[in-house]
Chain A
Amino acid sequence: MSGGRRLTLLIVGIALLAGWLGLRFSTSFDLTANERHSLSSASLQAAAALDGPLDLIAVMRPERTQVDALTALVERFRIAKPDITLTFVNPDTDPARARSLGTTAGAELILRNATREQRLQNLSERTLVGAMRRLGRESDRDIVFITGHDERSPSLQTDDDWSDLAARLASSGLASREVSLVAEPHLAESIDVVVLAAPRRPYFPGEIASLMNYIRAGGNLLWLAETPSKSATGPGLEAPDRVFDPFYSTKGVGEGLGLGLSISYGIVAGFGGTIRADNAPGVGAVFTVLLRAAERRAAA
């Protein structure tokens, strides 16, 4: 082997090594004015907080710009969470797979973590982080629907009942159960939210007392009323227009976070609904939650 050839091999070897080292220890800088390629620290924390591998399945036509944008977005999350996998399913070439995933007509991203999943149609950093947060929520988060007074039931599938709501809660990793205050008068502090789902018969004084005890201990009550009803009475609110503000509390500092109703507001808003607080004189506080039964189709 001539000296020239040996030198050539040496140079190529050095170049490969330098290139490999360069890519291995690469650092990136975002030069765009609106920091398009940087995730906010809150997003990175949300990704890092998620336990176990996260599988993303994108059901979309392989349009280059969309695929690249999604790949780049996921790549940025990998900084905080390396065990994210991303697979693409093309509904045109693999319709069977797309159908088995139960996807809708448009592009859809399915997030899978352990046994839970989230689906996204509108993809951005914000929606992706929201989905990761919902995935990461403890699955044993305790949502209790009170029964026994003709409430809308989360388990019955009649038109009058709210099994849809329970199903959507379940798909967000939020299991719900029904409790009768007669059988279980003490509501444990570990219950995250107690839901009064539009009762049509009044509660007994003992039941109201146990609800009040639960709230005083820092519990969250979501009271869904379809129409202001005279059947249930309670104490009024001091400032109904402020109750949904985060950290607003009538309790002293350190006695409660004042986040319960703010979280309720977020949950209802997440379903595309509205929640309103009013004082009905002689009745008490009335929370009106409006949820749309179905998405209205745009007029063609």
Chain B
Amino acid sequence: MPKWAMVIDLDKCTGCGACIAACKLENNIAIVAPAEAQNGRVMFWLDIISSYEGEYPAVKVNRIPKPCFHCDDPPCIKVCPVGATYKNEEGLVGQIYHRCIGCRYCMAACPYTSKVFNWEKPRWLDDTYSCFNPDVSLRMVGVVEKCSFCAHRLIKIKENAAQEKRAIRDGEYIPACMENCPADAIYFGDIDNKESVVHNLAHNFRAYRIMEDLGVEPKVYYLSKKF
């Protein structure tokens, strides 16, 4: 069984935000009105967190793309009262929108604040109604959603591979954020496969994970000279 993981090279990342845009379009994520977004109801499956170091004029800005970390021991699935969030055998943490009762316990329990909630009936720009991604179901008001590592792409790839009677190649299954990254800062693949790029990068001396000490075993690795 493969174990899907992501590596983000922060030394390559320019903080342009193309990953966010790709993610929103790929996954039919609702567009929230600016006033609502200001009130903390913005819908991002992949967000960029910014931290600032130093005083003006010597300010250093750190920009870190943050998808769901698809933890191997996810705190969110432990607390879900109805099993609407789960981890499959390939390590992907998913959300069943039609079972979720909207208690938001998983959001409260997630140490990475990775989940978002449909506070209102989801809305999209007028132009986008004709170009939804047909592979991703639309969500309804009152449920929690989050990054799926573009699991819908995996389904297609698996079907192709099965038809051609071969294993999935390294780099064949990639999420939309990686595909759209102009700096090639995002890598994705099977971390258990010793030949994969992700496995090698995750064991690079620059690799670290955010808040590793919590023991939730996130599967998103960051590369940075600083660490």
Partners in one complex: no
Binding site for A on B (CB under 8 A): none
Binding site for B on A (CB under 8 A): none
